[in-house]
Structure 1
Amino acid sequence: NILKIYRRTTTSGVQNIKDVLCSGGLVALVASLIIWVAIFLYVAFYYTYMPSTSHIRPVHLQFKSCEEIQGPCSFPSAHVQLTKRQQLLMVGQSYKMFLNLEMPESPANKMLGMFMVCVELQGKDEILVDSSCRSAMLHYRSSLLHALSTLTFSPMLLFGHAEEKQNVILELFSDFEEDQNHPVTDIYVEIQSRHVELYSASLGIHAHFTGLRYLMFHWPLLSAAVGITSNLFFILLITGLSWYQLYQPESEEAARKFQYAALDRKDEFKFNGEPDGVNALIAI
């Protein structure tokens, strides 16, 4: 008898441990699934809501050469294709557009002074969306400053690790927003000077974030924590309401059946002539 009791107790304890482990594993599985769903929803929202930070395109300037004299006979111009698709920029997002000119500190550029740079933004059907013109020139440096700078950086200049050049950055658009009906796909650049000398040029489009996008870009960890926590709250709320709506009708139906069964038993006892006290007890 003692052995049977011990076996029964051991079997019951093992079964309880199995039940606890199964319940804990199920809870851990459901919790991990809910957490991963919350993370996936935030990541999907982030990549859908947040546009690309910047787009950089090289600008290959072209011009017509003169036949009689040396040098260009037309303004340097270039066609920059942003995308072959329907659109590249996000509608409703503000962008800043810059043109970076890499210019040598040559005598020609120093004598050139100011010159104009114009751009035209066109859509898929060569529809003019917007245009802008900006003036530019090399930053002034006196002869003394130029001599001191050359003397200081002479070792790097001799070994080719530095050059006598300047990067002139022009802000073409400070608050450009994409038109949903006519998205920009092509940009035409023209430098309105035949005597300008350039090493290279590039066009940069940078997103200017405000509001929620600003918070999500500059504080990504805090935004991710708040977003995932909010997703967890709503997922748990929806799961709890669904569970309540799924099992609440069954519990109400079981209570209704129990009440009907009690009433039937009460009527049966009355029919068989049972005392009123027993009937009252059954009713309770």
Structure 2
Amino acid sequence: MDQESHLHSGDLSVVIGGTFLRLRDAVTMTISNTRQRVMRSFIVFFFTLLLLCLAVFLYGSFYYSYMPMAAFSTPVHFHYRTDCESPTSFLCSYPLANITLMRNKKNVLTFGQAYQISLQLDMPESPTNQELGMFMIKTTCFSQEGGQVASSARSSMLRYRSDLLRTMGTLLFLPAFLTGATEQKQVLEVELFSDFTDDPYAPSATAVIEILSNKVQIYSSQLYVHAHFTGIRYFLFYFPVVSALVGVFSNFIFLSVLFILSYMRPLRAEWKPEQAIGQELQTTVNSPHTASSL
């Protein structure tokens, strides 16, 4: 009886030990599989994030290299001669302004891009400007070598307002006029070029604006350059979010395909020698049978 109980207890301990061993192996295998999955997930996440950053960088580089400046403005300062002999003349010469079309030693205008160039004039509603009537504005663009690139001539004048309308406006806005919040002036917008395209062989570096009147009175003036986008540039400028999503997604797909192909290439290189070795072993195994049959 003692021997049987001893054998029974020994078998029980063996069973319990085997169960613990299997449980330990299962836990070890589970931990190992979990660790491998975590490492694989981390590697996949890292490479996905890296490809996404590269896709964003490529799209940003393309956008800032392909898209020109959408708008450009600069103040216009007119100058004229004052050494005339006639005391009745207001100005001795026509008001003239020389404007640079370069910023940081680079041309503001992009080759092949159409621009609208306009001049904004702040003119007082003085009797002189009212009696002036129409006046001409001449614009000439020059290259850095001094050659003429383009020129235009546009006419403009103050909007007509009757004496009664001016009197009513003065009485209505009298508090604003007295406090200096507003002024009796008109803002004229003169379109100098409606569809200006710069010459790639002789890009415009300066623009000369001349008002062909020696009686005109101006508070201040501003030059505005607006780009007319078409095609891909129109889509990139007016739909920036959609274009960014499409561009980044396309770059991400392209980079992912390149990464997968570059990853599969060494696997193919390793698989071909193994296949060749297997074929050689098969031929060596089959060769004795062929010899014996002969």
Give the TM-score of the pair, scaled to structure 1.
Answer: 0.90
Deviation at 1:252, TM superposition (A): 2.6
Q: Would the aligned equivalents of 1:103 and 1:199 in 2 still touch at CA under 8 Å?
A: yes
Among 118, 129, 146, the alignment partner of 2:166 is 146
Among 97, 105, 118, the alignment partner of 1:78 is 97
CA distance in 1 between partners of 2:274 and 2:165 (Å): 94
**Equivalent runs, 1:265-276 vs 2, <5 Å:** 265-268=285-288
Compared with structure 1, are the counterparts of its residues 259 and 38 closer, same or farther at alpha carbon in structure 2 (3 Å cutoff)?
Answer: same
The superposition leaves residues 11-48 of structure 1 with CA deviations (integer Å, 9 ceiling, x where unpaired) of 22111111010000000011111111111111111111
Count how many residue pairs are aligned between Structure 1 and Structure 2. Answer: 273
1:6 aligned residue: 23
Deviation at 1:226, TM superposition (A): 1.3
Give the AA of the match of 2:91: P
Deviation at 1:233, TM superposition (A): 2.2
CA distance in 1 between partners of 2:186 and 2:287 (Å): 104
CA distance in 2 between partners of 1:143 and 1:203 (Å): 31
Give the AA of the match of 1:45: F
The superposition leaves residues 135-171 of structure 1 with CA deviations (integer Å, 9 ceiling, x where unpaired) of 0101112223222322332222221111111111111
Q: Would the aligned equivalents of 2:101 and 2:109 in 1 still touch at CA under 8 Å?
A: no
Larger radius of gyration: 2
**Equivalent runs, 1:189-204 vs 2, <5 Å:** 189-204=209-224
In structure 2, stretches of 5+ residues that fail to align are 1-16
The superposition leaves residues 36-95 of structure 1 with CA deviations (integer Å, 9 ceiling, x where unpaired) of 111111111111110011111111100111344163111010111122625321111111
Q: Secondary structure at the match of 2:107?
A: coil
Deviation at 1:234, TM superposition (A): 1.8
2:250 aligned residue: 230
1:247 aligned residue: 267
Among 45, 58, 67, the alignment partner of 1:28 is 45
Q: Would the aligned equivalents of 1:57 and 1:82 in 2 still touch at CA under 8 Å?
A: no
Give the AA of the match of 1:72: L
Q: Secondary structure at the match of 1:72?
A: coil
In structure 1, stretches of 5+ residues that fail to align are 277-284
Report the RMSD for the aligned CA atoms in angstroms: 1.8
CA distance in 2 between partners of 1:217 and 1:158 (Å): 44
CA distance in 2 between partners of 1:89 and 1:125 (Å): 17
Give the AA of the match of 1:79: N
CA distance in 1 between partners of 2:25 and 2:239 (Å): 59
Q: Would the aligned equivalents of 2:118 and 2:225 in 1 still touch at CA under 8 Å?
A: yes
CA distance in 2 between partners of 1:184 and 1:22 (Å): 59
Q: Tell me if 1:173 matches 2:201.
A: no
**Equivalent runs, 1:202-213 vs 2, <5 Å:** 202-213=222-233
1:256 aligned residue: 276
1:281 aligned residue: none
Deviation at 1:208, TM superposition (A): 0.8
Q: Would the aligned equivalents of 2:75 and 2:223 in 1 still touch at CA under 8 Å?
A: yes
**Equivalent runs, 1:55-70 vs 2, <5 Å:** 55-65=72-82, 66-69=84-87
CA distance in 2 between partners of 1:241 and 1:20 (Å): 23
Give the AA of the match of 2:87: I
Give the TM-score of the pair, scaled to structure 2.
Answer: 0.87
Q: Tell me if 1:48 matches 2:65.
A: yes
CA distance in 1 between partners of 2:162 and 2:31 (Å): 90
Q: Secondary structure at the match of 2:204?
A: coil
The range that moved more, 259-268 or 170-179, is 259-268
Deviation at 1:268, TM superposition (A): 4.6
CA distance in 2 between partners of 1:149 and 1:78 (Å): 33
Q: Secondary structure at the match of 1:185?
A: strand
Give the AA of the match of 2:39: C
- Identity of paired residues, percent? 36
CA distance in 2 between partners of 1:109 and 1:257 (Å): 98
Q: Would the aligned equivalents of 1:86 and 1:124 in 2 still touch at CA under 8 Å?
A: no
The superposition leaves residues 184-239 of structure 1 with CA deviations (integer Å, 9 ceiling, x where unpaired) of 01111110100000001111111111111111111111111111122122222223
Give the AA of the match of 2:69: S
Q: Would the aligned equivalents of 2:69 and 2:108 in 1 still touch at CA under 8 Å?
A: no
CA distance in 2 between partners of 1:222 and 1:142 (Å): 51
CA distance in 2 between partners of 1:95 and 1:240 (Å): 45
